[in-house]
A and B are shown apart, each in its own frame.
Chain A
Amino acid sequence: MNIEKKILKYSSLEELVLKLNRDGKQVFAPVKKDNIVDFAPVSGLYEMAEDYIVTVQSAKFVVFPNVETLFEIETSKDKITLKDKDFNSIPEIILLGTRPCDAAGFNILNAMFGGDYQDTIYSARLDKTTLVSISCNKSDAKCFCTSVNGNPGATAGSDILLTRIDNNDFLAEIVTEKGKAIVSKYPELFETVPEINKDKYMADVPVEFNLNGISEKIYSRFDSDIWLEQSLRCIGCGTCAFICPTCGCFDIQDAYDGYSGQRKRSWDSCGFSLFTLHASGHNPRNVQSQRWRQRIMHKFVYLPEQQNLLGCVGCGRCSRSCSANMNLKELLIHLKNVIENE
């Protein structure tokens, strides 16, 4: 597959952000506020953070927001009115500054919400989302994309991938039809490119481990002590699941005040102690080690088996934000070592 390449000068990217805003799109980019970098709407490129590995939260909020109203209900004495989601109210969103790992995360969510059951709200949001990602010229100790089939310059999942080259300008790889549509709409901003090898601008992310063929071995350790060993310090909050680009578990609640209300979907986490509490009172995962095992199995065994997809993109967010310092890269290396040495 031949990916078209263009040059996007820094000043042209500034122009692009202004024009996208003017033309009714919402542009979200990483913004630094109160000491953290997270996605926020920007009207100008100057608002975007310069120095970040990845944002604290993932970009999944555009297709899978923390709170999603599924429908509304109004009742009166003899009538019940159901108001479905107004798909026209879903805005067109341009995500600027997602990393290749963020873009890869969408693949897993797409499989979950667009598999044998098509989640129409998710699809509608996905249709209206465009990813203009920026590849990584640096990484930190918590990154491990190259160990999970990713790399800092991967184009998978992005509509346009920008790579910062000399003079602050960008090499733009136009990956998809959506990417081509932006180039066609603002052709004056994209210039022809001489041959540029983007590899020299990429961060060096050493491969720490290779998980090929390990799924079965991990599964065979279902009853091993290792899950307890690794999870002793986990405090069971929802941080890792909430900020993970591939986690899509949710809870559905009705919020009614007597006569009217909404049914809402919101983020949930398999790490919460009552995640698997049955109505009978039985809880099949009532200790943290079982919940930790589930997290690893889901991402590295069940998803690969069922969807042929690895459920982790190696962004390292979970490790950076975990207050108990559950470092996923370290724990996976440990897991692999234990399995291979037993």
Chain B
Amino acid sequence: MESIRKKAKELLEKNAVQVIIGYGEGLDKSVSAIFVRKPENAETLIFDDRCVHNLAVYLLKNEIKALGKPCIIAHLAALRTILQLASEHQITEDDVLVLGVTHKGELMEFAGFKDIEKYIASANIDISENEKEIINKLEAMTREERWQFWVEHLSLKCIKCYACRAACPMCYCSRCQVEYNQPQWITVEATPVGIIEWHITRAMHIAGRCVSCGECYRACPMNIPINLLNYLTVLTIKEKFNVSAGTSADLDSVMSSFKSDDKENFIKQS
């Protein structure tokens, strides 16, 4: 934690960056994102077990970009997010100074995106065992049981607040599909099948881009494990196309590219 504060103060004093996007603590001890601009306020930065939010979601916000060049305190998922955003031409190396943090709180200074790629290549980016187990349990259910599970947890619970969308750093479209009504593909109202259609749409639009940060689940006020839908696409894409999002600043977009020998076992042909 001290090394983060020291480095942050130094960067601000030198005016190498104009804002540090990091974690801070509120009056009631809960953690949130903070945006430090004065060197003397670098003392308010913290880093501990509670600092799990993916701060990369703030990199593309207009009012934050207007503050100047940011330095971001980035854990593994945030680092992957940054590389994925770079692959999608949303940020460049010059746009942001990245200070990585290991889960032990050690500071990592990166010279550029290539450095970040090296770190990620050495890290474990798999979906947690816990979550894989839940997906396995779901897959072991009968189809009807699975449908019941999702009807109960999605159709009857989701209030369409779009917290999942807002918290996801990959959902940066200035006008989301749900915000079009010519035609109205996704119903505005929180109706049972409309809700399922929304979540399928989001999962498909995030497919190949999800870095499994879990923000969607954390953000959901109704505690719905929607991250499982995205994680399923992560597992499928790794298995079938051998690609993981956010591992390089130069990745081809998974769902807009292809290999002529992509394998499947369900397409009927003579």
A308 to chain B, nearest CB (A): 30
The number of residues on chain B lying at the interface, defined by a beta carbon within 8 Å of a beta carbon of chain A, is 41
Residues of A within 8 A of B163 (CB): 235, 237-239, 323
- B167's partner among A36, A235, A330 (CB-CB below 8 A) is A235
A298 to chain B, nearest CB (A): 18
Verify if A219 is at the interface (C-beta below 8 Å from B).
no
Size range of the chain A interface in the assembly: 35 or more
- Which 9 residue pairs across A and B have the least CB separation, nearest first? A325-B32, A237-B166, A323-B219, A237-B163, A321-B221, A141-B28, A266-B189, A235-B166, A238-B161
Verify if A233 is at the interface (C-beta below 8 Å from B).
yes
Q: List 14 A-B contacts (CB under 8 A).
A: A36-B223, A38-B222, A66-B160, A142-B28, A228-B63, A236-B166, A237-B161, A237-B162, A237-B166, A237-B219, A238-B160, A255-B187, A288-B63, A327-B30
Besides the known contacts A237-B162, A323-B215, 20 further A-B residue pairs in the complex with CB atoms under 8 A apart: A36-B222, A36-B223, A56-B221, A56-B222, A66-B159, A141-B28, A142-B28, A232-B63, A233-B33, A233-B58, A237-B165, A238-B162, A251-B188, A253-B181, A253-B187, A253-B189, A287-B63, A321-B221, A325-B26, A326-B32
Pair A67/B179 contact, Cβ less than 8 Å: no
Pair B28/A57 contact, Cβ less than 8 Å: no
Residue-wise interface mask of A (221-258) relative to B, using a CB-CB cutoff of 8 A (1 in contact, 0 not): 00000001001110111110011000000010101000
Interface residues of A (CB under 8 A from B): 34-36, 38, 56-57, 66-67, 141-142, 228, 231-233, 235-239, 242-243, 251, 253, 255, 264, 266-267, 269, 272-274, 287-289, 321, 323-327, 330, 333
Pair A242/B63 contact, Cβ less than 8 Å: no
CA distance A327 to B30 in the complex (A): 9
Interface residues of B (CB under 8 A from A): 26-28, 30-35, 53, 57-58, 61-64, 153, 159-163, 165-167, 174-175, 179, 181, 184, 187-191, 215, 218-219, 221-223
Residues of B within 8 A of A325 (CB): 26, 30-33
Pair B167/A237 contact, Cβ less than 8 Å: yes
CA distance A274 to B219 in the complex (A): 20
Residue with the highest number of chain B CB atoms closer than 10 Å, among A141, A228, A253, A325: A325
- A253's partner among B153, B162, B167, B188 (CB-CB below 8 A) is B188
Residues of A within 8 A of B63 (CB): 228, 231-232, 287-289
CA distance A182 to B144 in the complex (A): 43
Secondary structure class of chain A's binding surface, majority of residues = loop
Residues of B within 8 A of A67 (CB): 189-191
Residues of B within 8 A of A274 (CB): 175, 179
CA distance A253 to B34 in the complex (A): 38
B106 to chain A, nearest CB (A): 25
Residues of B within 8 A of A141 (CB): 28
A233-B33, A323-B218 as given contacts; A272 in contact with B162, CB under 8 Å:
yes
Pair B187/A324 contact, Cβ less than 8 Å: no
Pair B189/A264 contact, Cβ less than 8 Å: yes
Pair A235/B190 contact, Cβ less than 8 Å: no
- B223's partner among A35, A251, A327 (CB-CB below 8 A) is A35
What is the chain A residue whose CB lies nearest that of B165?
A: A237
What is the chain A residue whose CB lies nearest that of B221?
A: A321
What is the chain A residue whose CB lies nearest that of B67?
A: A232
CA distance A242 to B158 in the complex (A): 11
CA distance A81 to B55 in the complex (A): 52
CA distance A142 to B184 in the complex (A): 39
CA distance A288 to B179 in the complex (A): 17
What is the chain A residue whose CB lies nearest that of B62?
A: A287
What is the chain B residue whose CB lies nearest that of A333?
A: B27
What is the chain B residue whose CB lies nearest that of A252?
A: B188
B68 to chain A, nearest CB (A): 13
CA distance A168 to B189 in the complex (A): 41
A237 to chain B, nearest CB (A): 4
Pair A253/B166 contact, Cβ less than 8 Å: no
B210 to chain A, nearest CB (A): 17
CA distance A57 to B27 in the complex (A): 24
A25 to chain B, nearest CB (A): 22
Residues of B within 8 A of A288 (CB): 61, 63
A34-B223, A266-B188, A325-B26 as given contacts; A239 in contact with B218, CB under 8 Å:
no
Residues of B within 8 A of A237 (CB): 161-163, 165-167, 219
- A323's partner among B28, B153, B167 (CB-CB below 8 A) is B167
Pair B61/A243 contact, Cβ less than 8 Å: no
A287 to chain B, nearest CB (A): 5
